[in-house]
Amino acid sequence: MVVIQKVKRYLGNVNTLEVHDVFNEQVNCQLDEILAEHRRWYDTFAGAKADQDYDTCYWCIGSSQR
């Protein structure tokens, strides 16, 4: 199991286009399974949404559109 170092509050997965709040990480988020090349770190949720059309993670943010 690889444990990722939490760099900033929001982690975007550019492969699945899903954004996570690492301050509210849940087991079902499976952040450690996101490949390093698919990770994009953001200070704010607004910054993440401005960069990509991310959906929110159902588990750590809620309001997922999937």
What is the spatial distance between Cα 27 and Cα 43, in angstroms, rounded to a whole number?
22
Domains identified in the chain, total number = 1
pTM over 0.85? The answer is yes
In a domain, 61, yes or no: no
In a domain, 23, yes or no: yes
In a domain, 64, yes or no: no
In a domain, 35, yes or no: yes
In a domain, 50, yes or no: yes
- pLDDT on residue 64: 81
In a domain, 63, yes or no: no
What is the spatial distance between Cα 18 and Cα 55, in angstroms, rounded to a whole number?
5
Give the domain range for residue 29. Answer: 10-56
- pLDDT on residue 7: 78
- Reduced to 3 DSSP states, what percent helix, strand and coil does the chain have, rounded to the nearest 5? 30, 20, 50
pLDDT by residue, tens only, the chain of 66 residues: 556 777 799 999 999 999 999 999 999 999 999 999 999 999 999 999 999 999 999 999 998 877
What is the spatial distance between Cα 50 and Cα 5, in angstroms, rounded to a whole number?
23
